[in-house]
Amino acid sequence: MKMILAIVRPEKAKEVEDGLKAAGFSSLTEISVRGRGKQQGIVIGGMKYEKLPKELLMITCQDSELDQITEIIIKQGRTGNIGDGKIFVINVEDVITIRAGEHGEKTL
């Protein structure tokens, strides 16, 4: 199992979510975050903004679904400009459903 942490522009988060849902991946967690990448913020009218608003999408999936999900995130989240975001992939050892106490991929 994998956990995908995708940091995307706020204005692209709904498009990414809709693309995932249309492909059958409806489960995700979204968190509003602020941060900066290599560009270290932006300057607008003489004012420097070091941390920009982004959305963090957390998706847990089976290994076989990873490529499809990341392709959707890239397609729906890309503007072609600096600051489009990043995707991090993490190995997940186990998933437990709190209500039923079930373990493993069947909980996804």
Tens of pLDDT, residue by residue over 51-60, are 889 999 999 9
Q: Which residue has the higher pLDDT, 37 or 77?
A: 77
Confidence (pLDDT) at 105: 87
Q: Is pLDDT at 95 greater than 90 in this prediction?
A: yes
CATH match of 2-107 with 1.10.10.60: no
Q: Contact at 8 Å (CB) between 55 and 32?
A: yes
Answering whether pTM is above 0.75, one says yes
Confidence (pLDDT) at 17: 98
